[in-house]
Amino acid sequence: MKTPLHSMSVHELGRLFPVLLEESNPSWPELYASEKRRIQGSLGSGRILRITHIGSTSVPGLIAKPTIDILLEVDGGCNLEELKGMLLAQGYLFEEKLGNPPPHMMFMKGYTERGFQGQAFHLHVRYLGDWNELYFAEYLRYSPETAGEYARLKRVLRERFPNNREEYTDGKSEFVRRVTEEARERWGALYRPEP
């Protein structure tokens, strides 16, 4: 009998789900669009305020972990338990992320006790806001030079931490912070919701 994912140690999870980097795949935008339609069909549009493809798979030409990151923004009146139930019914796994902005929810698809299976998705649920991830991805699409620098950093970190996603992610944090600040200086409140 396989150990449930939620019972595995970080070391076990690292072996089961290594840091994989792939060359840019032209099918990533369509995979996002298809999953977006599936989410909208399941949840309806009543409480969904914005759905956005974020992360490296949203940047044409950029190497990436083959995981589609999606930011799902909801309003403050959203029934979170109902949302959770609907996403679980769609095959997502739920993980409470207390370090993430409210409502501290992340959902994942494509992860099994045998490793990756099918397309992997990370669905980050937040209340509508002016989120750094939106600016970071926008800047990488705007600046191929910056995207190239990011790709080089990711390759180095992948070599250093092939089975440690946390260290791999932490190693990118200073670069992400700097680029996000540059993006905010350039575009101001590009993603700030209308009052």
Tens of pLDDT, residue by residue over 17-65, are 899 999 999 999 999 999 999 999 888 766 789 999 999 999 999 999 9
Q: Report the DSSP pairing between strands 67-74 and 48-54.
A: antiparallel
Q: What confidence category does residue 146 fall into, taking pLDDT thresholds of 50, 70 and 90?
A: very high
Rounded mean pLDDT of the chain? 92
Say what the pLDDT of residue 1 is. 54
Say what the pLDDT of residue 195 is. 65
Say what the pLDDT of residue 92 is. 95
Q: Map out the domains of the chain with their CATH numbers.
A: 5-187 (3.30.460.10)
pLDDT tens per residue, range 61-115: 999 999 999 999 998 888 899 999 999 999 999 988 888 889 999 999 998 888 8
Give the pTM.
0.92
Q: What are phi and psi of 157, to 5 degrees?
A: -65, -35
